[in-house]
Amino acid sequence: MSNAAETLEGWYCLNDFRKIDWKSWKSINDHQRQEVLEEMMELWNQWSDTQEKSKGSHALFQIVGHKADIMLMFLRPTLEELTQIELAFHKTKFAEYTVQSTSYVSVVELSNYLPKGEDPYGNPEIRGRLFPKIPNNGYICFYPMNKLRSGNDNWYMLPSRERNQMMRNHSLIGRKYAGKVKQIILGSVGFDDYEWGVALFGEDPIHFKKLIYEMRFDEVSARFGEFGTFYVGKYVPKEHFNHLLQL
């Protein structure tokens, strides 16, 4: 039996994808729409208070294409807090004009990062990666993925030394995009349909294409990677939320 990779877990994560029911939204008058927006701002202010206290993070992205109109992303210390966030959103009037197209539940994850005997939670760099603040500008690319388990291409049957070496080589590609792309790795084994979620952030979305394409030629992706649906969108600050819904 191959040894399991050791992992560290940080904040829990919810990615909530929504389609807006534009027909219903257009059917109400300006006053009703304003009431809906004001209620959402009150909820958003609560999220912002939590973020200012460094007890979580949140962001809204406008998704490009037919799969969703918006994606809400939340990071919190407990799964219960994510449950309460989702419930609070469902109770808003704005939720009545949306349909949840899909969602993804996970937890920020790091693995094989430090030598034995060191306290990772005492390392500021590691803490910054386990409890990150979602970038408040630019674009996001989110996708789920698995490591293949098929015949000779079974990632989990490889010796840990071989897996570690391949992942080190794999990470060298990502380092070439330092300063251009920020990454949050989300472990979802036992939480959702795939084993990981990957969230990439950057000012220029073309860097997502170049990074992921280059990684396709690395053995970790070319031989063992299995990918789900990709979502790309642009960050929407709170003060621009009403512009997103203007008619």
Is 143 a residue of the active site?
A: yes
Q: Please give the chain's pLDDT, 247 residues, in tens.
A: 667 878 999 999 999 999 999 999 999 999 999 999 999 999 999 999 999 999 999 999 999 999 999 999 999 999 999 999 999 999 999 999 999 999 999 999 998 655 567 788 888 989 999 999 999 999 999 999 999 998 889 999 999 889 988 988 888 898 999 999 999 999 999 999 999 999 999 999 999 999 999 999 999 999 999 999 999 999 999 999 999 999 8
Return the pLDDT at 188.
98
For residue 2, is it within any domain?
no
Please tell me the distance from the alpha carbon of residue 222 to that of residue 177, in angstroms, as a whole number. 19
Q: What is the pTM of this model?
A: 0.94
Please tell me the distance from the alpha carbon of residue 48 to that of residue 77, in angstroms, as a whole number. 15
What is the CATH number for 239?
A: 3.30.70.1030
Which residue segment(s) compose the domain that 178 sits in?
Answer: 7-244
Indicate which residue of 12, 104, 143, 235 is catalytic.
143
Q: How many angstroms separate the Cα of 124 from the Cα of each of 101, 112, 119? A: 37, 17, 11
Give yes or no for a contact between 194 and 145, defined as CB atoms under 8 angstroms apart: yes
For residue 188, is it within any domain?
yes
For residue 176, is it within any domain?
yes
- Quick one: DSSP state of residue 23? H
For residue 76, is it within any domain?
yes
